[in-house]
């Protein structure tokens, strides 16, 4: 059970608390009185009700991203959506006899993208990993320089999960589409807070998740643009659900939770974002009083809730474990004691030492000003203590 005073939660980019309104909606899908039935059961009212709840959720998700419900496929999260987009497209094109075998991505993508790309490399594809600008942004010029006629897919996230920097995926997608290739974007960290509006974009495929926006974990979606007639084969077989792209019973309570979370985001995303930006400013201003502090990522193009910060002259790996009143992350791929520096921070040019002495602070809907004040005090005191220890040793 939680202790009386838990540290301030600043790890919203990893997972968010579920909004109570989402919990209520989900609860109504579990019991005998609610939509508990298999949504694919065609022969009784229980199944029809569950199917209706699933379709309402699909519409809520489509609405937020400016898509048609017909363009949304449910998955278990952005990881699966990324895999389905990248591997499913490659396999479908190959089956059609398409000879193109090259993918463009970046060095700072989520592992779900990088490892899917590595699998393609093992199968004989070539993958180009663009190096981002120092602020974590991938530019149109970089994409243009690297493009060739063998490219069938460009996969670049809208917002980077460590830095929060936002690339102009609509411009990148427009160019890619003009060249006759498909553009996939991972919007796990950006949907609802940064322009998605897929109807007016040449993005062919987009991964969505629920857990970053106060919805439940274990559910996500893939947007597939109808107008692009994207060839795709599923990776999970059986049952033919989700247009044959994702076998398995759709988890009604999960997708209803995601739908509700997206509906709330549609209504409140703008005011949430403004509040989050003000809290992020408060955090940044408090931390900027610490000597040797460095903020990473774009000053102007970023999601409202993520702040990446590094401290010079510090025993890096001890930083995160020494914080007593702040729960955040290192932005590293691994959180064990022999901390590997984050590949994202290294890719934007940080030294190993600075990358190790970094924190990813991420806030969200339920963060308060008082909590930011507490976290700033904790980080200031911890950095000062670790520096004093370093001098003594």
Ligand X SMILES: Cc1ncc(COP(=O)(O)O)c(C=O)c1O
Nearer to ligand X, 236 or 312 (CB): 236
| Beta carbons of 196 and 187 less than 8 angstroms apart | yes
- Scanning the structure block, which residue is given the tokens 């700072």? 108
Hey, what are 30's tokens? 């579990």
Q: Please, where are the H alpha helices in the chain? A: 20-27, 45-64, 78-95, 111-122, 140-146, 169-178, 252-287, 316-322, 343-347, 352-356, 369-392
Examine residue 307 and tell whether it contacts ligand X (CB under 6 A): no
Hey, which residues between 193 and 252 contact ligand X (CB under 6 A)?
209, 211, 220
Q: How many helical (H) and strand (E) elements, i.e. helices and strands, does the chain have?
A: 11, 12
- Closest separation in Å from C-beta 255 to ligand X: 13
- Report the residue count for the chain: 393
| Interacting positions 139-158 with ligand X (CB under 6 A) | 157
Phi, psi of 129, deg, nearest 5: -105, 100
Q: Which stretch binds ligand X (CB under 6 A): 125-133, 182-190, 338-346, 385-393?
A: 182-190
Closest CB to ligand X among residues 71, 186 = 186
Determine the residue with CB nearest ligand X: 77
Q: How far is the CB of 161 from ligand X (least distance, A)?
A: 3
With CB under 6 A as the contact rule, which of the stretches 40-48, 129-137, 184-192, 298-306 interacts with ligand X? 184-192
CA distances from 5 to 89, 324, 351, 375, 378 (A): 48, 11, 36, 13, 14
> Is the Cβ of residue 112 or residue 348 nearer to ligand X in the bound state?
112
Q: Which of residues 93-122 bind ligand X (CB under 6 A)?
A: 110, 112
Tell me which residues in 185-204 interact with ligand X (CB under 6 A): 186, 188-189
Task: Say which DSSP state 232 is in.
Answer: -
Task: Considering the complex, state which of residue 34 and residue 80 has its C-beta at the smaller distance from ligand X.
Answer: 80
Tell me whether residue 35 is one of the annotated catalytic residues.
Answer: no
Q: Which is nearer to ligand X, 34 or 216 (CB)?
A: 216
362 within 8 A of 328, measured Cβ to Cβ: yes
Q: How far is the CB of 159 from ligand X (least distance, A)?
A: 7
3-state DSSP assignment of residue 42: coil
Q: Which residues contact 279 (CB under 8 A, 6 or more apart)?
A: 363, 367, 368, 369, 372
User: Using CB under 6 A as the criterion, what x/- string covers residues 52-91 for binding ligand X?
Assistant: -------------------------xxx------------
Number of residues that bind ligand X (CB under 6 A): 14
Is 184 one of the binding residues for ligand X (CB under 6 A)?
A: no
Smallest distance from the beta carbon of 164 to ligand X, in angstroms? 10
Six-digit token pair at 128?
């180009």
12 versus 311: smaller Cβ distance to ligand X: 12
- The rounded distance, in Å, linking the Cα atoms of 256 and 253 is 5
Q: From the CB of 370, what's the least distance to ligand X, in Å?
A: 27
Work out whether 136 is an interface residue with ligand X (CB under 6 A).
Answer: no
Strand partners, 359: 309
Pair 294, 309: CB distance under 8 Å: yes
Catalytically active residues, by annotation:
334
Which positions touch ligand X (CB under 6 A)? 14, 77-79, 110, 112, 157, 161, 186, 188-189, 209, 211, 220
């Amino acid at each position: 059970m939680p202790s009386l005073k838990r540290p301030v939660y600043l790890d919203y980019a990893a997972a968010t608390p579920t909004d109570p309104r989402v919990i209520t909606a989900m609860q109504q899908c579990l019991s005998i009185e609610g939509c508990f039935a298999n949504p694919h059961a065609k022969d009784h009212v229980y199944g029809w009700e569950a199917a209706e709840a699933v379709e309402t959720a699909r519409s809520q998700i489509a609405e937020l991203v400016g898509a048609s419900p017909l363009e949304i496929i449910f998955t278990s999260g952005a990881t699966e959506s990324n895999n389905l987009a990248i591997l499913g497209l490659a396999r479908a094109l190959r089956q059609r006899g398409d000879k193109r075998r090259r993918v463009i991505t970046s060095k700072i993508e989520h592992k779900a993208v990088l490892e899917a790309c590595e699998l393609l490399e093992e199968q004989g594809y070539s993958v180009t990993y663009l190096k981002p600008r120092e602020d974590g942004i991938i530019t149109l010029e970089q994409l243009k320089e690297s493009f060739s006629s063998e490219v069938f897919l460009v996969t670049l996230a809208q917002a980077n999960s460590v830095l929060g920097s936002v690339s102009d995926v609509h411009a990148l997608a427009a160019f890619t589409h003009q060249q006759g290739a498909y553009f996939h974007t991972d919007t796990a960290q950006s949907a609802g807070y940064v322009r998605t509006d897929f109807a007016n974009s040449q993005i062919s495929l987009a991964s969505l998740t629920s857990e970053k926006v106060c919805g439940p974990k274990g559910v996500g979606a893939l947007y597939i643009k109808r107008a692009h007639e994207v060839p795709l084969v599923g990776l999970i077989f059986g049952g033919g659900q989700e247009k044959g792209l994702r076998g398995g019973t759709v988890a009604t309570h999960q997708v209803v939770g995601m739908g509700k979370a997206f509906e709330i985001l549609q209504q409140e995303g703008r005011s949430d974002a403004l509040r989050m930006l003000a809290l992020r400013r408060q955090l940044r201003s408090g931390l900027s009083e610490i000597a040797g502090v460095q903020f990473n990522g774009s000053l102007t193009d970023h999601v409202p809730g993520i702040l990446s910060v590094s401290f010079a002259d510090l025993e890096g790996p001890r930083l995160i474990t020494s914080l007593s009143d702040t729960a955040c992350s290192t932005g590293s791929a691994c959180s064990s004691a022999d901390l590997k520096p984050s590949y994202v921070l290294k890719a934007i040019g940080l030294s190993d030492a600075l990358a190790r002495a970094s924190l990813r602070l991420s806030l969200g809907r339920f963060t308060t000003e008082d909590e930011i004040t507490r976290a700033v005090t904790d980080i200031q005191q911890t950095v000062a203590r670790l520096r004093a220890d370093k001098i003594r040793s």
